[in-house]
């Protein structure tokens, strides 16, 4: 669809109301900023979400401005065990230095965000994060060396990755942004030490680690456990999860056609690595929508997704316009692929996340 950025948010279907729940007392959010909306009072979830998002974004921006005033300015090789063993040795030798180099990049990009986002410095332990990164990647390398299929890695390290994600997000979700960036840069360095044919063999193992680290599988499963098997919300989530990768690919294709020549700090939108990470980001947004549906709450958006995006995207030179276009396309892709009974379940959260990231929040 062309001209997607010109589609008015007001043209989107009206959101459903969400049942009442507790408010989140976090950062600048007061007790009046709710995550579950009182149905009886007919409060519009989107309008509250936009108000909350504006408050969060403006507070972070104010801290940044204050800080600026205070601070001076190969397929064949898989047939030979000897070759695979050499690849494993190369990866293991690179891993230690890769995690240290990666942390240097993380600090260069996000070091100034600690004060701006009011993060407790004691929660960001460089040695602990680097050690956890090496531990998980060693297991991925070992699985590759042992010829475990890449999909089996989810069994080998899936639970550990879920625990790792919960460990770093439970006290402050923004710490997870530092961790995911550490893994991301370490992964790039590991792939960079390999020949192209070797990369194609090992990359799927890194993809599994990447997926489990970025997508809240643990929280989604915990929330799903609270639903009966015939729950309308659970069935809708199951149906969407069957299509998330196809939807993400379609969103990327349409968004990239709307932004020819677009470039972030990672490269051009058309670059292979940027394409992979962009598709992953769309999958992440869909996973948070599933989490919201199962919790019947916008808390996952407010507590994790929005703050992490506000911290990471500007530093990685990802424009809000691109994010807004991506979310509008995502809205229509989900609308086209889900039956009406599933769509009505996702509708309040689709509209909410779209409006939270709208120009109403970020245009000052």
Identify the CATH number of the domain in which residue 133 sits.
1.10.490
Take residue 298 and report the two structure tokens written for it.
């916008």
Residue 165 structural domain = 79-214
Give the pLDDT confidence of 97-107 residue by residue, as tens digits.
999 999 999 99
pLDDT of 131 higher than 80? yes
Residue 333 belongs to domain with CATH number:
1.10.490.20
Strand partners, 268: 263
Give the pLDDT confidence of 36-45 residue by residue, as tens digits.
443 333 445 5
Together in a domain, 166 and 90: yes
CA angle 239, 42, 5 (to 5 degrees): 55
Together in a domain, 178 and 128: yes
Together in a domain, 347 and 283: yes
Together in a domain, 166 and 280: no
pLDDT of 66 higher than 80? no
CA neighbours closer than 13 Å in the CB half-sphere of residue 45: 29
Together in a domain, 186 and 321: no
Q: Tell me the C-alpha distance between 72 and 60, whole Å.
A: 19
Q: Tell me the C-alpha distance between 108 and 160, whole Å.
A: 28
End of a domain among 150, 182, 214?
214
Together in a domain, 236 and 363: yes
pLDDT band at 12 (very low <50, low <70, confident <90, very high): very low
Together in a domain, 206 and 224: no
Average the pLDDT over 143-152 and give the result: 92
Q: 10 Å Cβ neighbour count for 291? A: 25
Together in a domain, 194 and 262: no
* pTM (predicted TM-score): 0.81
- With respect to residue 71, please indicate whether it lies within any of the assigned structural domains: no
- With respect to residue 330, please indicate whether it lies within any of the assigned structural domains: yes
How many folded domains does the chain comprise? 2
Together in a domain, 131 and 227: no
- With respect to residue 6, please indicate whether it lies within any of the assigned structural domains: no
Give the pLDDT confidence of 266-293 residue by residue, as tens digits.
899 999 889 999 999 999 999 999 999 9
């Amino acid at each position: 669809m062309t001209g997607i950025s010109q589609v008015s948010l007001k043209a989107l279907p009206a959101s459903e109301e969400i049942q009442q729940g507790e408010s989140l007392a976090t950062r600048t959010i007061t007790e009046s900023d709710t995550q579950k909306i009182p149905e009886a009072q007919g409060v519009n979830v989107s309008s509250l979400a936009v108000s909350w998002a504006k408050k969060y974004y403006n507070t972070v921006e104010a801290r940044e401005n204050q800080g600026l005033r205070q601070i001076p300015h190969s397929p064949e090789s898989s047939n030979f065990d000897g070759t695979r063993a050499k690849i494993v040795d190369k990866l293991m030798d690179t891993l230690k230095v890769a995690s240290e180099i990666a942390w240097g990049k993380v600090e260069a990009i996000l070091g100034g965000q600690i004060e701006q986002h009011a993060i407790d410095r004691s929660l960001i332990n460089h040695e602990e994060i680097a050690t956890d990164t090496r531990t998980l990647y060693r297991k991925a390398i070992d699985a590759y060396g042992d010829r475990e299929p890449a999909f089996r890695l989810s069994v080998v390290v899936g639970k550990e990755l879920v625990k790792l994600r919960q460990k770093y997000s439970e006290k402050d979700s923004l710490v997870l942004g530092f961790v995911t960036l550490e893994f991301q840069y370490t992964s790039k360095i590991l792939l960079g030490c390999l020949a192209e044919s070797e990369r194609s063999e090992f990359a799927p193992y890194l993809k599994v680690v990447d997926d489990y680290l970025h997508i809240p599988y643990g929280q989604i499963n915990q929330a799903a456990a609270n639903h009966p098997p015939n729950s309308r919300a659970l069935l809708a989530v199951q149906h969407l999860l069957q299509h998330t990768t196809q939807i993400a690919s379609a969103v990327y294709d349409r968004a990239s056609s709307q932004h020819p020549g677009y470039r972030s700090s990672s490269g051009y939108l058309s670059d292979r690595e940027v394409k992979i990470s962009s598709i992953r980001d769309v999958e992440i947004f869909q996973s948070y929508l599933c989490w919201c549906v199962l919790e019947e709450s916008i808390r996952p958006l407010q507590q994790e997704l929005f703050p992490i995006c506000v911290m990471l995207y500007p530093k990685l030179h990802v424009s809000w316009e691109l994010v807004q276009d991506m979310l509008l396309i995502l809205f229509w892709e989900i609308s086209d692929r889900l039956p009406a009974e599933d769509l009505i379940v996702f509708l309040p959260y689709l509209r909410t996340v779209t409006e939270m990231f709208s120009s109403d929040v970020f245009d000052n």
